Chain A
Amino acid sequence: MRFYEHEAKQVLAKHGVPLPKRSVARTPEEAEAAAAEIGGPVVLKSQVLSGGRMKAGGVKFADSPAEAKDAAAAILEIEISGQRPMGVLVEERRAIAQEYYAAVTWDARAKKPVIIFSDMGGIDIEEVAEQHPEHLSRTNFSNLRPFSDYIAKVAVSKTGVTGNHLGPLTRIVTALARVFIQYDLTLAEINPLARLEDGTFIALDSHMDMEEEARNSQRALLRELAIPDEDTRLARPPTEFEIAGAQVDAADTRGVAGRVVEFDGNMGLVIGAGGGSLTLFDAVRAAGGKPANYCEIGGNPSVAKAAALTKLVLSKPGVEKIAVMMNVVSNTRADIMARGIIKGCIEAGRDPGETIAIFRIPGSWEDEGFKILRKYGVDFVDRSVSMHEAAARAVAKMGA
């Protein structure tokens, strides 16, 4: 899950990283008051979860509170990657002598955290890595030994930084590494990290992502940042349909039936599980089908859970038929799935034989499943029909 810039900065402030004077405004009037309070020139930044704010017009400068009010009014109207800003961060504007880049993230190759540091900040770091590799350092550190400040010093020093710049940068990178470890982050980034003309160092922008799996253990932090449980913080906010899908999944701990993502098509999907869902979603699209949703069903969900997910998918306007497909299953029971999905159709007031374009769940308890499906006139196939063939057969049944 992703944090807004102002939340990331709140975390940095807690750990002693120097920051500009700042305030979050939700209205142009609040921005005006914030600018007056800060005094002097300010920068106003749209608070959205996606990048590309500068390009989209989500960052503006103002020299007076009146200008800040106008700038905030403009920023609050601009959608960035489909997101309305939750507010505007108003910050004091400082004169910059040099920009640096600092990040801590996971290195899946080394299976350890890595500090990425550069004395060429403020620009696309992948570009620095390609064109100026000598200006970028990568430093892995152990998961088992406690973090020690020298690791941050090495990371900074590798880019040639020395003298009286080394100490303050080491302290900031150390704080960033400790924040990364303490809060189960997957990315803790300061870019740019600026040296001001007065010689002090300051974090101008920050980006943090937290491990989804850590939401429970990090509840104290989330409460401190006032982030509610239902706030998924993906690249875009969840739709009502997706929130309802999460509720279906959470209603019963047994198995998975949810994780829905909404799309524009007419073909409802009840597919599973992790890799199977990706394969089947591709297969439907490759056959020319238009999925109404992505979802995952697997583990060993109850009849009620399978029924609830089916009803939810059928509730989406424009869904004509559903395709029920899985890979050869190990621990999901085909008969329980058949029962749940037929129940869901009936409760939604649909004829299962008409509504289910295809049923392909080969594996455990399939013979019992086939019996039920036959009784309701549902078109089903066994493992002799591949996932791609089943998807194509379902797509062929959709109205032209």
Chain B
Amino acid sequence: MSILIDQNSTFIIQGITGREAVTMTRELLNYGSKVVGGVTPGRKGRDVHGVPVEDTVRAFTERMEVTGAIVAVPPAFAADAVMEAIEGGIKLIVIVTERIPRKQVAEFIEYADQEGARIIGPNCLGLISPGKSKMGGIGGAADATQRAFKPGSIGVMSRSGGMTVEISNALSEAGLGISTAASIGGDAIIGSNYAELMPLFEADPETKGIAIYSEPGGPSEAMLAEYMTASKSRLPVVAFMAGRFMDAMPGMRFGHAGTIVEGRADTTAEKIARMEAAGISVAERIEDIPAILKQRIG
């Protein structure tokens, strides 16, 4: 099994005619993802690699079952596209776009909560259930994706898209493989953080352990630690913490929008302490993650 997406999932891509989205469409189709449509206002009737384009989301949702929408429109129009997807009844939305102002992100997350829709991102590479489907640019070309993501037993969650691939590759090379990998996004406010996805992995019998990539800033690691303590999770979790150099540089933003040390709780030292206290193993190097997981899974 896997979480959120599998071989039967169907997707539309909002902003499908943009340059990067055209490439992503081809890569998704080559990988085997079921891309059933694309939306770009004014481009109704065209196609992208054989995928039909419509002006509106409802043009698809009114006549077929659509599992999810990938939002790949420029930042100025992204929030509007997400609102349209939620209103159209779509329950899983992956937002690839980066640099959407926080206020707009918080608005569409609140609307999604009201409508029972799940948001992944923004500023992410999306989801992959290896061998079944992927949703977003994660892994790039189909052959490169197959190489880095082998089917297996580890759930991966990462605030960095690139590091989702790096960690998954290490787990694949070590023979553990991936059940589902989620690039959850690097912004300060995101649709789904680690603790919010954990119950899904918990319910997936194929997932035997969790690997996460974490960094300074935000409450996601603290929330995961609280979840682990409260839920008595069956899943061993191994975290890699990047950005240790930032502890001594408060107020400076590095990497993602959400990565800034503003208070003590934002530092890697504090986050590592909280996670370890909750039974989460913290790896010093990426290549140490598979061995720790193997040992903890037993």
Contact = CB atoms under 8 A, between A and B. Distances in A.
B251 interface: yes
A111 B109 contact: yes
7 contacts: A108-B188, A108-B218, A184-B102, A261-B252, A278-B160, A278-B245, A327-B165
A283 B259 CA distance: 18
Indicate the size class of the contact surface on chain B: 35 or more
A330 B169 contact: no
A213 B258 CA distance: 12
A98 interface: no
Contacts of A109: 219, 223
A363 B142 CA distance: 11
Given A143-B106, A328-B162, A331-B140, 13 more contacts: A106-B188, A106-B189, A112-B106, A144-B110, A212-B257, A234-B251, A273-B255, A326-B162, A330-B137, A330-B162, A363-B148, A386-B286, A386-B287
Given A213-B75, A234-B252, A388 B286 contact: yes
Interface in A138-153: 142-144
A66 to B, nearest CB: 36
Interface of A: 2, 50, 106, 108-109, 111-113, 126, 142-144, 181, 184, 186, 211-214, 217, 234-236, 261, 272-279, 281-283, 285-286, 294, 296, 298, 300, 326-331, 362-364, 383-384, 386-389
Interface in B15-29: 20, 23
B101 A217 contact: yes
Nearest to B114: A144
Contacts of A186: 102, 188
A278 B188 contact: no
Contacts of A211: 101-103
Contacts of A326: 162
Interface of B: 20, 23, 75, 99-103, 106-107, 109-111, 114, 125, 137-141, 144, 148, 158-163, 165-166, 169-170, 173, 186, 188-189, 213, 215, 218-220, 223, 240, 242-246, 249-259, 263, 284-287
B130 to A, nearest CB: 14
A213 B257 CA distance: 9
A329 B106 CA distance: 29
A296 B101 contact: no
A126 to B, nearest CB: 7
B162 A113 contact: no
A272 B20 CA distance: 19
Contacts of B252: 234-236, 261
Contacts of A142: 110
A327 B242 CA distance: 13
Given A109-B219, A211-B102, A331-B20, A143 B107 contact: yes
Contacts of A383: 169, 173
Nearest to B111: A144
Scoring A143, A235, A384 by chain B CB atoms within 10 A of each residue's CB, the highest score goes to A143
A143 B104 CA distance: 8
A2 B163 CA distance: 30
B218 A144 contact: no
Contacts of A126: 263
Contact of B138 (A106, A212, A296, A330): A330
A282 B286 CA distance: 12
Nearest to B244: A282
A367 B161 CA distance: 23
Given A106-B106, A108-B219, A278-B215, A328 B286 contact: no
B148 A328 contact: yes
A308 B125 CA distance: 27
Scoring A272, A283, A329 by chain B CB atoms within 10 A of each residue's CB, the highest score goes to A329
A142 B144 CA distance: 43
B166 A328 contact: yes
Contact of A285 (B165, B245, B255, B287): B245
Contacts of A286: 284
